[in-house]
């Protein structure tokens, strides 16, 4: 058993399905801390009950993290050891926690990882795609135009791509991936990892899109999608001095067809990781036909 150090924030990974994946260190940390900041206190309460842990809980989720962080920093400065957990997996990885971790680090508070399950890494480990370099994209945008623009910006990305996707959007996302990356691009969809109905689907993007459309079970549960990176020749074509501008242009061309100029430029700047004014100027030239 460990002794939690006062004034430390512990970022604790919890099971993504199988409760046997919780480490002994994680359990001890949850038991010894003065407080657990949890994404959903009801969900974490069930886990703690199973473990026989009685540490108090405080909610910390997407809608209150900015307001709760100062309170938690004050408690940490006063000497409390606090654990941060999400509903499943590693906190702050497409889950709440980033703002609290950043605030704690800025305040000079020790932030300690208690590592464990992560759906993205688990799926990547069984996908059969290159893992020496990969690009984690989290959840794709819910809106179709923004999703297609994001995918277009990744069309020539040579690294293996990892996405999270929800059940009700997986068919549309696979169809958009197949249309953008090419139906023959290899991919793996891992559904309900470590849970009772865990299933791994392998094939081309076209095959997976067709399977998802015709198999109701495909869209039951959370999904991690691992997609083969772009072929070497495509990646080379994207490189060079014009590669960055080319990515921005592709995103803008998709968005300008469906959105007003200012909105398209703002979204494109976020997707292509450029400044707003750069995206706006480029959008004007594309719209005017002077690019």
Q: Which positions ≥6 away from 264 have C-beta within 8 Å?
A: 252, 255, 256, 258, 283
Instruction: Give yes or no: residues 145 and 108 share one domain.
Output: no
**Structural domain includes residue 271:** yes
Pure H helices in the chain: 24-32, 41-51, 65-77, 98-106, 119-127, 144-153, 170-181, 205-214, 232-238, 243-256, 261-272, 276-288
Averaged pLDDT in 10-residue chunks for the chain of 291 residues: 80 96 97 97 97 97 95 96 97 95 96 97 96 95 94 94 96 96 96 96 96 94 96 54 66 86 86 82 83 59
| Token couple for 57 | 């809980």
pLDDT of the residue at 291: 59
Instruction: Give yes or no: residues 97 and 127 share one domain.
Output: no
**Structural domain includes residue 217:** yes
Instruction: Give yes or no: residues 100 and 18 share one domain.
Output: yes
**Structural domain includes residue 4:** no
**Domain boundaries, position 153:** 120-230
The predicted-structure confidence for 205-240, as pLDDT tens digits, reads as follows 999 999 999 999 999 999 999 999 998 655 444 444
Instruction: Give yes or no: residues 95 and 130 share one domain.
Output: no
Question: Among 213, 230, 247, where does a domain finish?
Answer: 230
**Structural domain includes residue 211:** yes
**Structural domain includes residue 3:** no
Region label for 258, one of left (φ > 0), alpha (ψ between -120 and 50) or beta (otherwise): alpha
Report the CATH number that the domain containing residue 201 is assigned in CATH: 3.30.950.10
**Structural domain includes residue 107:** yes
Mean pLDDT of the chain: 91
Report the CATH number that the domain containing residue 105 is assigned in CATH: 3.40.1010.10
pLDDT of the residue at 286: 87
pTM listed for this prediction: 0.80
Instruction: Give yes or no: residues 92 and 151 share one domain.
Output: no
pLDDT of the residue at 236: 44
Instruction: Give yes or no: residues 47 and 70 share one domain.
Output: yes
Question: Among 77, 100, 117, where does a domain finish?
Answer: 117
Total domains present in the chain: 3
The predicted-structure confidence for 259-288, as pLDDT tens digits, reads as follows 889 888 888 888 877 788 888 888 888 888
**Structural domain includes residue 189:** yes
Instruction: Give yes or no: residues 18 and 48 share one domain.
Output: yes
Instruction: Give yes or no: residues 226 and 125 share one domain.
Output: yes
Question: Among 51, 84, 117, where does a domain finish?
Answer: 117
Instruction: Give yes or no: residues 28 and 78 share one domain.
Output: yes
pLDDT of the residue at 241: 40
């Amino acid at each position: 058993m460990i002794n939690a150090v006062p004034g430390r924030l512990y970022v604790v990974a919890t099971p993504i399905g199988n409760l046997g994946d919780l480490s002994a260190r994680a359990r001890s940390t949850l038991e010894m801390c003065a407080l657990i900041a949890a994404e959903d206190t009801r969900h974490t309460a069930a886990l703690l009950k199973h473990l026989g842990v009685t540490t108090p809980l405080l909610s910390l989720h997407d809608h209150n993290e900015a307001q709760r962080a100062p309170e938690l920093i004050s408690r940490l400065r006063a000497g409390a050891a606090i654990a941060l957990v999400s509903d499943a997996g590693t906190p702050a990885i497409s889950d709440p926690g980033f703002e609290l971790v950043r605030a704690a680090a800025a305040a000079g508070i020790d932030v300690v990882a208690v590592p464990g399950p992560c759906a993205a890494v688990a799926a990547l480990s069984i996908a059969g795609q290159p893992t020496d370099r990969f690009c984690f994209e989290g959840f794709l945008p819910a809106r179709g135009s923004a999703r297609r623009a994001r995918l277009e910006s990744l069309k020539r990305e040579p690294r293996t791509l990892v996405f999270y996707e929800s059940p009700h959007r997986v068919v549309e996302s696979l169809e958009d991936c197949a249309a953008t990356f090419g139906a023959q691009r290899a991919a793996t969809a891992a559904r309900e990892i470590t849970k009772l109905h865990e299933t791994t689907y392998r094939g081309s993007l076209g095959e997976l899109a067709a399977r998802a459309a015709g198999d109701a079970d495909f869209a039951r549960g959370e999904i991690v999608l691992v997609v083969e990176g772009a072929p070497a020749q495509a990646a080379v074509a994207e490189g060079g001095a014009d590669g960055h501008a080319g990515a921005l242009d592709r995103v803008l061309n998709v968005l300008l067809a469906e959105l007003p100029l200012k909105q398209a430029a703002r979204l494109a700047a976020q997707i292509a990781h450029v400044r707003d004014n750069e995206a706006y100027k480029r959008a004007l030239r594309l719209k005017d036909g002077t690019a």
